């Protein structure tokens, strides 16, 4: 999304110098917990923000959401994201599984074919880190999820992380990034009931050269709070504006073809009317790559004529669990959604002890001990994946930014209610 207000763009870039300093100390009226004593302890310090009926916790490492607490239909509090209670576990995760739990990914989310792209006749190559060197995933071997962001503002209900990307991973030019998270229950035209809402704004400015920019949140949602082994049979997914998907090859790199969800894979990817995540799982063999069954797919958001601008803010996803009664509605200014049904999880990562304890107290059963296959869902609001290598799609103006452009802004809201 381009904003042509250069005064605003300049203001967005002011906190860049803060990146040279340790993470900012929290205000005295906000919560901070940390058991780390190492020299880099600030990167794993936990910051808490709150509003009525919603609490979120973050760490600077990866500008990462670690906990998101909302009430269920019985008024009980549930943590609806996968992750770790111990912040240092995210570093271990990066060194082993690299799940991207809760992180901001970039400089370019999703996959880049052959780690290669061209801008104005110049070809660039960045390190590949997937499938034996065939493509680059989520920014390369050390993406934004593995960077130590700086806390530049922090209040009771909001937090901002800043990262100065000085041509990291061989991307051209320097980029300043801000990840802004805020909580609110204020009534508005978009939230007439004043429901608990998380708002995220990922704001990036290209400072020196034209470069691809496509940040995304990589939050693993589980609205049944791991009370069930998977989300297949209790969680309903609806994407009313997503009648098309980007076709991908056996390693999930786009082929350039666009498919209709009504006909592709026997209609199994058609969530326009809403259905259980697992309803058509048997028809999804190969959807997420060779030998894989499940969804790991870029769904396009086709705005109706009433929305004049292609980057207008629009409701895009409705998710609900009949186990907890929790609902999630996602709205975004982005043109696509990458949906991932945790096909690659294999039950080796334990769920949070805090989740198990809460489930035990509420239900007499700790619930799922591990993050199982199909035990969660990722909803990435972003542009058309690998659009920088598919110029016929016309996405370059939304993915290539230079010093003469306004900021790239990925704006999304996550609104929670109950059935």
Q: pLDDT higher for 142 or 3?
A: 142
pLDDT of residue 308: 83
Confidence of residue 12 (pLDDT cuts 50, 70, 90): very low
Average pLDDT of the segment spanning 9-32: 39
pLDDT at residue 32 is higher than 60: no
Q: pLDDT higher for 29 or 372?
A: 372
43 is known as an active-site residue: no
Q: Give the CATH architecture of domain 6-221+393-418.
A: Distorted Sandwich (2.70)
Average pLDDT of the segment spanning 285-312: 95
pLDDT at residue 28 is higher than 80: no
Q: Give the pLDDT confidence of 37-48 residue by residue, as tens digits.
A: 334 668 999 999
pLDDT at residue 17 is higher than 80: no
pLDDT at residue 26 is higher than 70: no
Q: Give the position of tokens 């982005």.
A: 334
Please, what's the b/e burial string for 20-57 (b: 16 or more CB within 10 A of its CB; e: otherwise)? eebbbebeeebeeeeebeeeeebbbbbbbbebebbbbb
Residue pair 377/237 in contact by the 8 Å Cβ criterion: yes
Average pLDDT of the segment spanning 272-301: 98
Catalytic residue among 128, 218, 252, 382: 218
Confidence of residue 318 (pLDDT cuts 50, 70, 90): very high
pLDDT at residue 75 is higher than 80: yes
Q: Which residues contact 52 (CB under 8 A, 6 or more apart)?
A: 185, 196
The residue ranges of DSSP E strands in 261-345, in sequence order, are: 275-276, 296-300, 314-321, 326-332, 336-340
Q: Determine the Cα angle at 384 with ends 378 and 390, to 5°.
A: 140
Q: Return phi, psi of residue 269, to 5°.
A: -95, 10
**CA 56, 61, 64, 65 torsion: positive or negative?**
negative
Q: Give the pLDDT confidence of 147-166 residue by residue, as tens digits.
A: 999 999 999 999 999 999 99
380 is known as an active-site residue: yes
pLDDT of residue 331: 98
Q: pTM for this one?
A: 0.92
Do 6-221+393-418 and 235-387 come out as alike in CATH topology? yes
Q: pLDDT higher for 114 or 22?
A: 114
Using alpha carbons, select from 106, 76, 101 the residue that is nearest to residue 90. 101
Tell me what the pLDDT averaged over the chain comes to.
Answer: 92
Domain-wise residue ranges, the chain? 6-221+393-418, 235-387
What are the residue ranges of helices labelled H in 48-150?
89-95
Catalytic residue among 128, 130, 169, 380: 380
pLDDT at residue 13 is higher than 80: no
pLDDT of residue 254: 98
What is the CATH T-level fold of the domain 235-387, as seen in this structure?
Answer: Beta-galactosidase; Chain A, domain 5 (2.70.98)
């Amino acid at each position: 999304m381009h904003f042509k207000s250069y005064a605003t763009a300049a203001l967005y870039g002011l906190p860049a110098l803060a990146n040279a300093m340790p993470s900012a100390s929290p205000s005295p009226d906000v919560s901070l917990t940390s058991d780390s004593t190492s020299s880099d302890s600030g990167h794993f310090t936990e910051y808490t923000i709150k509003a009525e009926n919603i609490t979120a916790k973050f760490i600077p490492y990866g500008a990462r959401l670690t906990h998101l607490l909302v009430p269920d239909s019985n008024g009980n509090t549930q943590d609806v994201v996968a992750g770790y209670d111990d912040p240092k576990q995210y570093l271990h995760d990066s060194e082993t599984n690299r799940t991207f739990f809760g992180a901001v990914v970039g400089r370019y989310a999703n996959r880049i074919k052959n780690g290669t792209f061209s801008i104005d006749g110049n070809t660039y190559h960045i390190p590949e880190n997937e499938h034996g060197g065939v493509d680059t995933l989520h920014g390369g071997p050390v993406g934004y999820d593995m960077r130590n962001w700086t806390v530049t503002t922090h209040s009771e209900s909001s937090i901002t992380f800043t990262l100065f990307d000085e041509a990291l991973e061989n991307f051209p030019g320097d980029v300043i990034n801000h990840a802004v998270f805020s909580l609110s229950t204020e009534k508005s035209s978009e939230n007439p009931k004043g429901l608990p809402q998380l708002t995220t704004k990922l704001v990036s400015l290209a400072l020196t050269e034209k470069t691809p920019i496509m940040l995304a949140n990589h939050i693993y949602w589980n609205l049944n709070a791991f009370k069930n082994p998977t989300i297949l049979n209790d969680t309903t997914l609806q994407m009313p504006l997503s009648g098309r998907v980007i076709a991908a090859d056996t390693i999930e790199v786009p082929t350039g073809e666009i498919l209709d969800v009504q006909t592709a894979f026997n209609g199994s990817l058609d969530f326009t009317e809403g259905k259980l995540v697992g309803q058509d799982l048997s028809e999804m063999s190969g959807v997420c790559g060779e030998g894989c069954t499940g969804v790991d797919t870029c769904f396009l958001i086709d705005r109706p004529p009433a929305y004049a601008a292609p980057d207008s803010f629009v409701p895009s996803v409705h998710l609900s669990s009949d186990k907890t009664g929790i609902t999630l509605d996602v709205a975004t200014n982005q043109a696509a959604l990458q949906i991932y049904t945790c096909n690659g999880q294999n039950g080796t990562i334990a769920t949070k002890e805090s989740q198990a304890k809460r489930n035990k107290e509420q239900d007499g059963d700790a619930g799922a001990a591990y993050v199982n296959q199909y035990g969660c869902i990722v909803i990435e609001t972003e542009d058309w994946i690998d659009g920088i290598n598919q110029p016929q799609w016309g996405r370059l103006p939304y993915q290539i930014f230079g010093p003469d452009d306004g900021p790239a802004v990925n704006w999304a809201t996550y609104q929670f209610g109950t059935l």
